[in-house]
Structure 1
Amino acid sequence: MPAPSWDNLDAFLQPDDFARTVNVTPQGGVSRDIKGIFDEPYFNTQIGEYEADAFMPRVTCKASDVADLRAKDAVQVGGKTYYLLTGPQPDGTGMAVLSLATE
């Protein structure tokens, strides 16, 4: 029995839909393009009388595409350069999340 179409991660991550091409550069390695879903959710946190506003950029992509990446590796999305906060965070489905920060 063939796998359902949603099991094909390459088909799921087509830039024609909602994914985009992202460039990753491991430290001391070679730059390459991967496909991923970029989002930058907004968080507002209140601690007592203080408020903190933050954006948390991240890319969701195939875990196998980013297995060699580590914290501080460069990730370029739409011409803007970010850096990994940690290594890739696999979710157990074949996908991983790259948590990003600007300089």
Structure 2
Amino acid sequence: MPHPDWEDISAFFELEEFATKASITRASEKVADVLGIFDDPTQMATLGEFEFDGPGPRFVCREDEVSQVLRGDTAVIEGRTFDVLEEPQLDGTGIATLILAVPNVIYNARL
């Protein structure tokens, strides 16, 4: 679905402004290099005695740049590697969100 003609969102996703680059791969082959906004909330918000565990890392970008991205792909952002947990979430305005997670790593504890 194309974004509305009245808004040019490409300026928002420029490296000189807010964006960072993500390299998306699948089975060691590059799928895309995408510019977008990386959000990695690492602090747990508290309100009195209640704690809110916010969503994990996400990458917001133009939907036309992630049309080939699939669940299970890998994203390298700011030197860190993340798994893509699901297909890009489209919001109907030309913007998509990739839901990410730190990959599971099994360590050899030599037990």
| TM-score clears 0.5 | yes
TM-score bucket (shorter structure): 0.7 to 0.9
Is there any run of 5+ residues in structure 1 with no aligned partner, and where? Answer: 46-50
In structure 2, the partner of 1:17 is 17
CA 1:62–1:27 in structure 2 vs 1: closer, same or farther (change >3 Å)?
A: farther
Structure 2: where are the runs of 5+ without partners?
A: 46-50, 104-111
Alignment RMSD? 2.7
User: Larger C-alpha radius of gyration, 1 or 2?
Assistant: 2
Structure 1 stretches of at least 4 aligned residues deviating more than 3 Å after TM superposition? 26-29, 42-45, 51-55
Equivalents in 1 of 2:90, 2:16: separation in Å?
A: 24
TM-score calculated relative to the size of structure 1:
0.77
Residues 11-69 of structure 1, C-alpha deviation per residue, up to 9 Å, x if partnerless? 11011111111111134743431100001124748xxxxx6856610000011111111
Task: Report the CA distance shift for 1:53/1:72 in structure 2 as closer, same or farther (over 3 A).
Answer: same
Q: TM-score, normalised by structure 2?
A: 0.72
Comparing both structures, which one devotes a greater share of its residues to strand?
1
Identity among equivalent positions (%) equals: 33
Distance 1:68 1:31, change over 3 A: closer
Indicate if the aligned counterparts of 1:42 and 1:55 stay in contact, CA closer than 8 A: no
Name the structure, 1 or 2, with higher relative contact order (CA <8 Å, separation 6+): 2
Aligned residue pairs total 97
